[in-house]
Amino acid sequence: MSKGTKVPGYMQGKGSRNPRGIIGDREIRYKCSLQNTILDVLRGRPGWQEVPGQNNIQPNVNQANPKQAGSGSTTQGTTSGYKGSVRNPQGPGTQSAVPTRLQGDGDWDFYWCDREWLAQNYDTMFLYEHQKILHFRNHYELTRKNLMVKNLKRLKKQTERELGKAEGQSFEFFPTTYELPSEYHIFVEEFKKNPGIIWIMKPAARAQGRGIFLFRRLKDITDWKKGEYQPLSDPNREVPETYVVQRYIENPYLIGGRKFDVRVYVLVVSYNPLKVWLYRSGFARFSNTRFSLDSIEDTYVHLTNVAIQKNAPDYDPDKGCKWSTQQLRKYLSAKHGVEAVKKAFKGIDNIIIKSLQSVQKIIINDKHCFEMYGYDVLFDSDLKPWLIEINASPSLTASGKEDYDLKFGLLNDLLNVLDLENRLTGKEKRVGGWDLLWEDGPILADDGNMECAPNGTTASIPNSFLGCHNERKRQLRELYTAAQSIKKS
């Protein structure tokens, strides 16, 4: 494959327009299990071709070497590939000496699959060198609420042991949390030490605010306990749904009297070494109703999920309940000064890196896999950021034109970072709206961004520009021109 053929036409001058994206000398073939913005992005990408059918790829079975598709430990759920829709013609556990090519395998280069599909197929799947697929096999280590906290607590303890208590303080960004029912008794002890504070109960594996409630008194969870948590001696006991009980942040930062949280997009292209990109744009999701601690049963006041807020009686779909992260950063900078906001946003970088490090040794690393996380971060009244949760399938359905533009750019730039077309040099620190935050260590910025470097100094500032200006199209034009001339020379 000649290097020259890898530069797709749409990045070349009009005279040499080549309509095809190139892997070798052919178009890039993709599959997509979603019907929203990501599909629009993929369909709009010059030279990319859709492989028809959704979620219907037959795995390429390689039982002789089930780790072919990954590297590292596969202690988590290695047999789940035999469940559900996996079709191994020789039956579970049988051996085949070479990868068995089944219908549909290898007919794609890029697959935006859903988590369920990956869970069912990954362990028996053979991936070719060039194939890229969304999700790491055990992404849930970070995205299930109980596991996220378990992993964070473990790394915090290890850090304290190895580097001292002071270092451990850099982990104080997640509210005190216990898993129920397994940690019920420890929770009760903690509860009694802090009378009067508010706690929030959340089902560990659900999303969009479902099943969440707040409480102040232990007896408020008696009903829940009866339903969900029965003593082991009960012969009719079913496995209770796992919940987390978490200290409620009672002093959220308010704008216009309303609570909000911030959606931050993070792209991990490798866990080993850890390589992390942070997207400049995102949004703040506001609750529709003024914040008050008087009505803790009112989800419209306390939960900022769009799925909840859009059902509020006075919700206005035109106005929505979102601000762009740029708008938020501007507002906070005007109010508190640029330095205070820089410090607050640096706290978000810390959350991202520490949380990813907490699972770095656990996630089954695979060069074929990538993950785009949606972090939910809440500022308290001191502008301290708190990690609320991490999503592996952040919503890509747009709630309006602005939201569509954000998500379209985000996803297009994600494909630009992955660079299946091989247009980049691989040394980039910025691709469109994505900035390289970490590659086996922190990345420092080498070009100034005055919004984020108000003193005019660019020396030693982190390459992190959340909420800063995102003139992605101009940056891409310049980037590709530069990359092309580097490659030529």
Binding of ligand ADP by 246 (CB under 6 A): yes
Which of 135, 202 has the CB closer to ligand ADP? 202
| Binders of ligand ADP in range 370-389 (CB under 6 A) | 376, 378, 388-389
Which of 246, 464 has the CB closer to ligand ADP? 246
Binding of ligand ADP by 208 (CB under 6 A): yes
Q: How many residues bind ligand ADP (CB under 6 A)?
A: 20
Q: Could you give the CA distance from residue 243 to residue 51 in angstroms, rounded to a whole number? A: 39
Binding of ligand ADP by 403 (CB under 6 A): no
| Binders of ligand ADP in range 158-177 (CB under 6 A) | 175
Piece of the chain touching ligand ADP by CB under 6 A; list 50-58, 180-188, 198-206, 272-280: 198-206
Which of 76, 208 has the CB closer to ligand ADP? 208
Q: Could you give the CA distance from residue 299 to residue 305 in angstroms, rounded to a whole number? A: 10
Which of 305, 358 has the CB closer to ligand ADP? 305
Shortest reach from residue 134's CB to ligand ADP, in Å: 19
Contact between 341 and 329 under an 8 Å Cβ cutoff? The reply is yes
Q: Could you give the CA distance from residue 79 to residue 183 in angstroms, rounded to a whole number? A: 28
The only residue of 288, 305, 449, 470 in contact with ligand ADP, by rule CB under 6 A: 305
The alpha carbon torsion through 258, 261, 262, 266 (nearest 10 deg) reads -170
Q: Could you give the CA distance from residue 467 to residue 282 in angstroms, rounded to a whole number? A: 7
Piece of the chain touching ligand ADP by CB under 6 A; list 84-92, 298-306, 313-321, 448-456: 298-306
Piece of the chain touching ligand ADP by CB under 6 A; list 244-252, 275-283, 408-416, 477-485: 244-252
Three-state DSSP at 23 gives: strand
Binding of ligand ADP by 209 (CB under 6 A): yes
Biggest distance spanned by C-alpha atoms of the chain: 77
Backbone torsion region of residue 6, taken as left when φ is above 0, otherwise alpha when ψ lies between -120 and 50, otherwise beta? alpha
Binding of ligand ADP by 200 (CB under 6 A): yes
Piece of the chain touching ligand ADP by CB under 6 A; list 24-32, 48-56, 242-250, 271-279: 242-250
Q: Could you give the CA distance from residue 3 to residue 310 in angstroms, rounded to a whole number? A: 50
Q: Which two tokens stand for residue 177?
A: 């949390």
Three-state DSSP at 486 gives: helix
Tell me, residue by residue from 253 to 272, as one string, x for binding to ligand ADP by CB under 6 A and - for no binding. --------x-----------
Scanning 248-324, the segments in alpha helix (DSSP H) are 299-302, 306-309
Which of 72, 209 has the CB closer to ligand ADP? 209
Contact between 121 and 59 under an 8 Å Cβ cutoff? The reply is yes
Shortest reach from residue 285's CB to ligand ADP, in Å: 7
State which amino acid sits at residue 386. Answer: W
Q: Could you give the CA distance from residue 351 to residue 344 in angstroms, rounded to a whole number? A: 11
State which amino acid sits at residue 443. Answer: I
Piece of the chain touching ligand ADP by CB under 6 A; list 10-18, 230-238, 299-307, 408-416: 299-307
Q: Which residues bind ligand ADP (CB under 6 A)?
A: 175, 200, 202, 206-210, 212, 246, 248-249, 261, 303-305, 376, 378, 388-389
